[in-house]
Amino acid sequence: MVGRLLGYLMVCWPPEQSIAELAEALLASRSAIAGAVSALENLGLVRRSRAAGERMDRVSIDRTSRRAYGFDVSEYEEQGELAREGLEVLADAPIERRAVLLEFAAFADFLVERLPQLEQEWNERRQALRDSGQIAAHPTHAPREEDKG
């Protein structure tokens, strides 16, 4: 359900959908949708919002989240620390036994170092794409049926 929901949110119009709208579109129960929304919120991929005067949340892809684009280094920092803790436990072991942890710690450190640079490069490229009209700065919203007329 999480994958179906994420895929639908990437193509639906308007880009903000209520739980009821998502359940209807995906032929799923509201509780299944709510659970999937919670999982995606925890991953930083979607956000809930509520328009003034509305009593229900609307769910959409969070295009501002560093986690959504994979640029949040905190997870890699934690993984590197975990690998280093394992290396402390195996401090007297031969390098062959520590090889996986050594490589994993080095890879995590590499990502922590490189991700900020990649994020900056992406932001520059995204701005160039926006400036050229190849991608929209922010999605524009089509009027809902209930908002027409």
Q: What CATH number labels 2-65?
A: 1.10.10.10
User: In the chain, where are the structural domains located?
Assistant: 2-65, 74-131
pLDDT tens, position by position, 31-42? 999 999 999 999
Mean pLDDT lowest among 13-17, 37-41, 143-147: 143-147
> What is the model's pLDDT at position 139?
56
The partner residues of 49 in beta bridges, in order of sequence, read 58
> What is the model's pLDDT at position 138?
67
pLDDT tens, position by position, 48-106? 998 888 889 999 999 888 888 889 999 999 999 999 999 999 999 999 999 999 999 99
User: Does residue 62 contact residue 44 with C-beta atoms inside 8 Å?
Assistant: yes
